[in-house]
Structure 1
């Protein structure tokens, strides 16, 4: 294929476009708002599923590939465009897990360095941790990426490539079909055509496909977060308890999140979520109880069955491809998902087994 139209300018769409363009494919990317400003901006950026042992192996396969890829990706983007996505390796402590034995057994089977540790050891690494915890497990190599900067770096990388065009603030209103094949999209500014169309529009992907009679089980799931500014050495590791986490950035910012809400496309931050997140912050790190929240926001995750993304061509719709439905793990799974998509589109040898993510048999009819 010589030209691909990518719909969606989050990290999945940006990275799909970047990988394809680096392979010599012409790409036009279309974003309804501003690139990198929906779920990709709003998430915490932990480069791991929150509880990887609870996920289908299809999710952990993408996660492990991506975790290995991220350091080189960040270094390449920094060198090429001067924007550092800040892949920050801090490790992660899980506290008071109900399924700790399952987690440890899973890690042993996977050959991963996850171990039970004493609370004394945790407090030596994280002196500000609260005192209401009894048990902990730790994985040392877990990183977080500063997702807004990753979005900016990928956008800059696309701008530097001569075979890429990025269209912001353009809403896709329909698809171009030629002889039963999808060959582009329609926007208010006119049609944009190519050899194939990739839908990577996150929580909005299902709405785009509905006029074609394709029912994609992807729906928005609201998540709210809050941000504190602390000293750069305030929090030495990511910590997670009861489904909530605290994430340190290199400059001392600490993110606390996140909620899980069924609220349609409403992204309005709420007082209820603020109170809940502040309570979580104080439980995890008591010193935050007296710290001001410098920002609160919400984003919309693309919820999907079991959190397994859709990657591949839509059956019965030649030329229409998907890379969407990553739920809570879009940042984690992006490199592997986009590599698989690019390899499938170009008919190359696959590094990742494609069948768990194929739309065939997984779309609602």
Structure 2
């Protein structure tokens, strides 16, 4: 399918933006539709660690996407920075996991997958991260883990798309349903009227399942709320990411420290709560006691697109020609975006896929 077509993309998060960038860079006409402003939902709200929190707990399907993306992120960031002047700030700090229950499984996974993860003495963790709390006894470390400053990544992608000739972005454009003729999807119904295309891509994150209901399809993607807090410290305060008991601290280059995150099944409610604020502050102080004296400068919530086993849906929808999915990335949308969107472009453009697409195919899963 290398001929030029009009592709309508529903959803302007990192997945939708990067899908649009890959397709437009390959010569396709792209119309991107976003119900609010691009990148303002989970793409903005997440922490941006370029690794699953516990990579050894995932299936090979998630691992394959994660490894490809981790290796590709630095060059993606360089390309976007060179094109737009907006630096997504891929910041390689390494990551310490503390007091893991499944440390043996983690180390076995690292050996099997040849990832640079190893057990270290807790004193080495304290030497590397002097502000680390004293209540921990064991640590494992992976040196090459980075984080990306996700709001800057979104800004950079939007600027890169604005510079491409065959891209139209409609913000404040809510999609209410699909235009269907028999077994073919021809476009979408929106608050701006009908928008038609040769292909329609659903990349609407937590809202993807709701939209597919209008076609009588059940997609098991549901919103999972996550809350985060933000501190501002000196730029050299925290040198490395640290993670314990499911909570993490992520340093940005300018001294901002993100602490996350909760996992809540509250439907589409993204109201930040005082109980989550207190819980996150307690985790922050356990990880880094000096944060007890720091001021919380931000507190927000986002909605992850929860999916079974966190395996995204990438590819055409069987029985409905013209309809494609790139959604359901759950906790790892930012991690998996480069690989997911490259694989998606391979499939739509009829190219050799970067990895085996079978585990992500919507067929048999919806």
Q: What range is the shorter-chain TM-score in?
A: over 0.9
* In structure 1, distance between residues paired with 2:355 and 2:323: 21
1:169 aligned to 172, 175, 179, which one?
172
> Aligned match of 1:341 in 332, 337, 344?
344
After superposition, the C-alpha distances for 1:20-47 in whole angstroms (9 at most, x for unaligned) are: 0000000000000000100000000000
Deviation at 1:350, TM superposition (A): 1.0
Whole-angstrom CA distance in 1 between matches of 2:214 and 2:39: 26
Matched, 1:88 2:91: yes
**Pick aligned residue for 2:139 from 133, 136, 140:** 136
Q: 1:294 aligns to what SS in structure 2?
A: strand
Q: C-alpha distance in 1, partners of 2:287/2:363?
A: 43
Structure 1 residue 180, shift from structure 2 partner: 2.4
Match of 1:313 in 2: 316
Q: TM-score, normalised by structure 2?
A: 0.98
Structure-1 residue corresponding to 2:116: 113
Aligned-pair CA distance for 1:177:
2.1
Partner of 1:138: helix, strand, or coil?
strand
Task: Extract unaligned runs of 5+ from structure 2.
Answer: none
Q: Which residue of 1 aligns with 2:39?
A: 36
SS at structure 1 position matched to 2:123: helix
Q: Classify the secondary structure of the residue corresponding to 2:363.
A: coil
Deviation at 1:292, TM superposition (A): 0.9
Find the residue that maps to 1:123 and give its secondary structure.
Answer: helix
Aligned to 2:263: 260
Match of 1:51 among 47, 50, 54: 54
**Count of residue pairs brought into register by the alignment:** 363
Tell me the distance in 1 between the aligned counterparts of 2:253 and 2:176. 41
Q: Secondary structure at the match of 1:70?
A: helix
Q: Matched residue of 2:296: which SS?
A: coil
CA distance in structure 1 between the partners assigned to 2:257 and 2:273 by the alignment = 20
| CA–CA distance in structure 2, aligned partners of residues 188 and 78 of structure 1 | 34
In structure 1, the gaps of 5 or more residues are none
User: SS in structure 2 opposite 1:33?
Assistant: coil
SS of 1:269 mapped into structure 2: coil
Distance of 2:291 and 2:174 partners within structure 1? 41
Residue 74 (structure 1) aligns with: 77
Is the CA contact (8 Å cut-off) linking 2:285 and 2:292 kept in structure 1?
yes
Contact 2:316 2:323 in 1 (8 A): yes
Write out per-residue CA displacement over residues 115-167 of structure 1, whole angstroms, 9 at most, x where no aligned residue: 00011111111000000000000000000000000000000010000100000
What's the secondary structure of 1:212's corresponding residue? coil
User: In structure 2, what is the equivalent of residue 150 of structure 1?
Assistant: 153
1:175 deviation in Å? 1.0
TM-score by length of 1: 0.99
| CA-based RMSD | 0.7
